[in-house]
A = this chain, B = another copy of it.
Amino acid sequence: MEEKVAIIEALIFASETPLTAERVVEILPGTDKKEIVLLFGELVREYEQRGSGVCLREIAGGFQFRTRADLAPWIRKLKTGRPAMLSQAALETLAVVAYRQPLVKAEIDRIRGVDVSGALKGLLEKKLVRIVGRKDVPGKPIIYGTTRKFLEVFNLRDLSELPTLRELKDLQE
């Protein structure tokens, strides 16, 4: 393995969050983003070809090692304690925020037909949703959006990777 690739592999491994090409360029002098992106791709293929139990995935705009999804039953046996699951209310609220962001709470209330205060607070505490700013209308309501952690938890490269929402007009056909 080329030394530069080995350094990048170690950096991705050591990083607490998905590692971006920009961050690698900052760390490795004399490299540029294009080169790093190519080396990321090389590493992704290498792990795939080896049939490794770990794979390199593009998440939240960066790269991160993750265990292969099909090995989950074994890993779950290793990790005692059940994974923290989101309630249905939390998932629906999160879906509305993810697809309609940036948006205010009243809009989420309207779509879900219930007061989403509790679910929203839980999502803020879990850092899946964040306060983006305030809307410039009377009362200055708080605007919400999803976080980088949302992308990490749901295994997404970026928001554009979200499955497209079925449109109202599609339903009406």
Contact = CB atoms under 8 A, between A and B. Distances in A.
A99 interface: no
Please indicate which of the listed interface residues A5, A11, A170 has the most CB atoms of chain B within 10 Å of its own CB: A11
A1 interface: yes
Instruction: Count identical subunits in the complex.
Output: 2
B10 A53 contact: yes
A91 interface: no
A144 B9 CA distance: 39
Interface string A113-145: 001011011001000000111100000001000
Contact of A11 (B65, B74, B115): B74
Nearest to A82: B16
Contacts of A149: none
Q: List the 6 shortest-distance A-B pairs measured between CB atoms, nearest first.
A: A10-B53, A6-B53, A9-B53, A10-B67, A1-B51, A121-B171
27 contacts: A1-B51, A1-B53, A6-B51, A6-B71, A8-B53, A9-B52, A10-B54, A10-B71, A10-B74, A10-B75, A11-B74, A13-B67, A14-B75, A14-B78, A19-B78, A23-B78, A27-B77, A27-B78, A105-B171, A115-B173, A117-B171, A118-B172, A121-B171, A121-B172, A124-B171, A142-B163, A142-B167
